Structure 1
C-alpha cells in the first residue's frame, strides 16, 4: 500500500501498518453490523431456551446439575456463532471485490487473512466472555480449581481459533455469502443437536449413540466438563486433542486453497 502526496516521494506503508489498518476497518464493520450485540444476546438466549424448560427434567437425574452440564455447549455454540461471522466476513470481501482490490495493491497476501483473523479473535473473546456470564447466571460454577478452569477455557479458545481459520477459509472458497451460509449452518446445527452438549448420551437411541459420543462437539464438551470437575485425565482429554489436530490440518489445507484462489 503506497500513499502519495503532491510534491513528495511516495511512502510505502509497512505490512504491520497495513494489517493494523485492515484490522481497525474490520472491527468498525463488526460493530456497525451488530455482531457484537448478537454476541452478547445469543449465549443468553441459548441458556434460556434450553436451561429453563429442561432444568427440572435433567436435575431429577442422580448426580446431575444441569447448569454445570450445559455450560460447555453454551460456550461452544458461542464459538459457532463467531465462526459463522468469520465465514460471512471473508465471503462478503470476496463478493464485493475487496479481495480482488487487495491483490492489485503492494500488500503481502497474508495481511488480509491476518487482519480478518485478528477481528475474529476479538469477536471470539467477546463471545466467550458473554457465554461465561450467561453460564454463571443460570448457576454454573468453576469447580476444577485454577488449573481446571484455565484448561476449560484453553480448550474453548483453541477450538475457537481453529474454527475461525476453518470458517474464514470456507468463506474464501464458497465464493458467495449465500453458499457460505449453507456450507456452515447445516453442519453446525446437526453436530450441535446430535451431541452430548444438551442431553447425556444415554438419552439418545442406541443406533446413533456411537456417533453422538465420538463426534467433535461431544468430545470437546466432555473434555470441558472433566476439566471443570477435576476429572480431566489423559484418556478423557486426548480425543479432543486429536480432533484439534484434525481441525488444524483441514483448516490449513482449506486456507491454502482459499489464499491460492484469491491470488488468481
Structure 2
C-alpha cells in the first residue's frame, strides 16, 4: 500500500514576495490629484463654460452700459475696467474649487484618501493646482475680448505676461477661501451659496468697477485693504507699465495673508473630518 504524498505547488515568481513600490512624495501625490482635477473638468465642461461666459458678460455689459457715465467713454472705461474684470472673473471662478472638494467629501473620496499612504493634504493642494487651467481660461478670455474691443495695454506684451502670471498666483491664494468653505460645510449646495456670497461681497466692495477715490473716506479705507482691490491695483500697474514696488509689495502681502490665514484653517477642518 503506497502512502499518498501531499501535493506541493511550485512557488513561482507570482508567489514570491516582491518589493513594495516606493511611497509617493508630497509633490508626486499633489500632481496626481491635480491631474484628477483636470479630468473632472473634462467630464464636467460646464465649469469651463461658466469661466468663459462670466467675463464676457461682465466686460460687455459694464463697458457699454455704464462705461460712458463713469469714465466719459466706453473706450476709456475699458482701459480702466479690463484688469479688474480679469481679477473678478478669476475670483468668482475660485468658488468651484471648494464646491468640487465638498462633492468629494460628500461622496466619501476623502475617507478613501485617508487610508492611503500619501501626504494627506495632497488631495487639497492637488485640486487647487488642477484648477489653474480654469483660472487661466477665466483670465485670458476677457483679455482677448478686450483686445478685440480696442484695449491696448501701455505696458506691452511684457506687462501683460507679468500680469497674467501674478493673477495665477493670486487665484491660487484666494482659492483657499473656497477650499476652507468646501471642507467646512456639509452639502455642495451650501458650499456654492456661501462661497459665491463671500466672493461676491469682496468683488462688489472693491475698486474693480469704480475708482476708490470717488468713495467716502471711511469706505475708501475698507476698499484699500480688500485683497481684490489690492490685486486689481497691481494688475492695472503691470498692464500699464506703471507698477510700483509698493503696489506689488502690498499685492504679494495680500497673497501671503490669504494663505497664512485660510490654509491652516483648511488643513485643520480637513484633518477633523465631519462631526
Q: In the aligned structure 1, how far is the partner of 2:85 from the partner of 2:192? A: 21
The secondary structure found in structure 2 opposite 1:65 is helix
Q: In the aligned structure 2, how far is the partner of 1:174 from the partner of 1:6? A: 47
Aligned positions of 1:185-196 closer than 5 A: 185-196=196-207
Aligned residue number for residue 15 of structure 1? 24
Aligned positions of 1:13-162 closer than 5 A: 15=24, 22-33=33-44, 34-60=46-72, 65-162=76-173
Q: In the aligned structure 2, how far is the partner of 1:144 from the partner of 1:214? A: 25
> Contact conserved, 1:169 with 1:258, CA < 8 A, in 2?
yes
Classify 1:108/1:65 alpha carbon distance in 2 versus 1 (closer, same or farther; 3 Å). Answer: same
Classify 1:148/1:168 alpha carbon distance in 2 versus 1 (closer, same or farther; 3 Å). Answer: same
The secondary structure found in structure 2 opposite 1:191 is helix
Whichever of the two has the greater Rg, that structure is 2
In the TM superposition, what is the alpha-carbon distance from 1:90 to its structure 2 partner? 0.7
Q: Deviations over 1:143-173 (max 9, x none)?
A: 1134433332232111111122332233112
Q: In the aligned structure 1, how far is the partner of 2:103 from the partner of 2:47? A: 14
The secondary structure found in structure 2 opposite 1:15 is coil
In the TM superposition, what is the alpha-carbon distance from 1:207 to its structure 2 partner? 4.1
Match of 1:220 among 216, 219, 231: 231
Q: How many residues align?
A: 258
Classify 1:127/1:10 alpha carbon distance in 2 versus 1 (closer, same or farther; 3 Å). Answer: farther
Q: In the aligned structure 1, how far is the partner of 2:43 from the partner of 2:202? A: 30
More deviation in 157-166 or 104-113? 104-113
The secondary structure found in structure 2 opposite 1:52 is helix
In the TM superposition, what is the alpha-carbon distance from 1:203 to its structure 2 partner? 3.4
Q: In the aligned structure 1, how far is the partner of 2:222 from the partner of 2:149? A: 29
Classify 1:69/1:83 alpha carbon distance in 2 versus 1 (closer, same or farther; 3 Å). Answer: same
> Contact conserved, 1:40 with 1:127, CA < 8 A, in 2?
yes
Q: In the aligned structure 1, how far is the partner of 2:78 from the partner of 2:236? A: 11
Classify 1:145/1:177 alpha carbon distance in 2 versus 1 (closer, same or farther; 3 Å). Answer: same
Q: In the aligned structure 2, how far is the partner of 1:109 from the partner of 1:115? A: 11
Normalising by the residue count of structure 2, what TM-score does the alignment of the two structures yield? Answer: 0.81
Q: In the aligned structure 1, how far is the partner of 2:32 from the partner of 2:170? A: 27
Q: In the aligned structure 2, how far is the partner of 1:65 from the partner of 1:163? A: 29
Q: Say what the alpha-carbon RMSD is for the aligned residues.
A: 2.9
Q: In the aligned structure 1, how far is the partner of 2:79 from the partner of 2:173? A: 25
The secondary structure found in structure 1 opposite 2:66 is helix
Classify 1:99/1:147 alpha carbon distance in 2 versus 1 (closer, same or farther; 3 Å). Answer: same
Q: Which runs of 5+ in 1 are unaligned?
A: none
